[in-house]
């Protein structure tokens, strides 16, 4: 009991083991729901996302000239590159678009739990608290209807939200200690530009961190 109590209250320990437990639980849930190996996409919006990936793969080197790829918007505004860029590369190489899209969904969905865990640990939560917080974060995706409604782009970008928040906290800590880290700053900057949710908040956070470090 003493060892178990120490594990629960520990602020340290194996991040790899904890993330493995989260991944195993997420894989189990997907298998029970029949979504782990079934590549059939859900919802109506998914057809738009898959078509964007196909369009981007066909005009990979001239994507800015294709008005359909981004519905007439600037490619750098309003769209998460992680949702379309990597999948388009694999489709460009000849892989099936639906299979690629399903694999992309699995990668990003399975990343939600560990990213939420990473954020909780960064702000100083105990291991058991970090694990407990991570479960409703990734399981609530179904409650929000993101997958059933076809809003896969939101699922794809959620891991970047928690990663960016965690990196913002870490960078702010360094600034308070009179230190800075270009690595954390650019990782934060990259995470911020790979999603569209909470972009305004993180833009302000990044700008503050940059001014503080300069």
- Name the more confident of 13 and 60: 60
142 assigned to some structural domain: yes
Total structural domains in the chain? 1
The parent domain of residue 124 ranges over 15-156
Kindly state the DSSP code that residue 60 receives in the 8-state scheme. Answer: T
User: What's phi and psi for 62, nearest 5 deg?
Assistant: -130, 35
Q: What is the mean pLDDT of residues 94-108?
A: 92
Could you read off the pLDDT of 47-93 as tens digits, one per residue? Answer: 878 888 888 888 776 666 555 555 555 555 555 677 788 898 999 99
185 assigned to some structural domain: no
Interatomic CA distance for residues 185 and 209, integer angstroms = 8
102 assigned to some structural domain: yes
Q: What is the mean pLDDT of residues 202-211?
A: 46
Reported pTM: 0.76
Evaluate if residue 101 carries a pLDDT over 50. yes
Could you read off the pLDDT of 110-146 as tens digits, one per residue? Answer: 999 999 999 999 888 888 888 988 888 888 776 555 5
Could you read off the pLDDT of 158-199 as tens digits, one per residue? Answer: 888 888 888 888 888 887 777 777 777 777 767 666 655 444
63 assigned to some structural domain: yes
Of 32, 138, 50, the closest CA to residue 99 belongs to 50
List of residues 6+ apart from 107 with CB closer than 8 A: none
91 assigned to some structural domain: yes
92 assigned to some structural domain: yes
Triad 61, 66, 67: Cα angle to 5°: 155
50 assigned to some structural domain: yes
Could you read off the pLDDT of 24-34 as tens digits, one per residue? Answer: 999 998 888 88
47 assigned to some structural domain: yes
């Amino acid at each position: 009991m003493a060892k178990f109590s120490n594990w629960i209250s520990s602020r340290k320990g194996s991040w790899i083991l904890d993330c493995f437990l989260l991944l195993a639980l997420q894989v189990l849930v997907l298998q029970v729901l029949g979504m782990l190996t079934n590549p059939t996409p859900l919802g109506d919006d998914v057809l738009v996302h898959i078509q964007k990936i196909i369009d981007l793969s066909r005009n990979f080197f001239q994507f800015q000239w294709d008005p359909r790829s981004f519905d007439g918007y600037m490619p750098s505004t309003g769209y998460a590159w992680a949702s379309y860029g990597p999948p388009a590369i694999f489709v460009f190489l000849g892989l099936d678009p639906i299979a690629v899209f399903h694999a992309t969904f699995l990668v990003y969905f399975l990343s939600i739990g560990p990213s939420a865990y990473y954020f909780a640990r960064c702000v100083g939560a105990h291991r058991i608290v970090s694990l407990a917080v991570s479960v409703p974060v990734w399981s609530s995706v179904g409650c929000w209807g993101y997958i059933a409604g076809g809003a896969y782009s939101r699922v794809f970008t959620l891991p970047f939200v928690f990663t960016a928040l965690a990196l913002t906290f870490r960078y702010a800590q360094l600034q308070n200690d009179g230190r800075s880290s270009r690595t954390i700053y650019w990782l934060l900057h990259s995470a911020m530009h790979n999603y569209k949710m909470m972009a305004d908040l993180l833009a302000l956070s990044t700008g503050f961190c940059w001014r503080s470090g300069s």
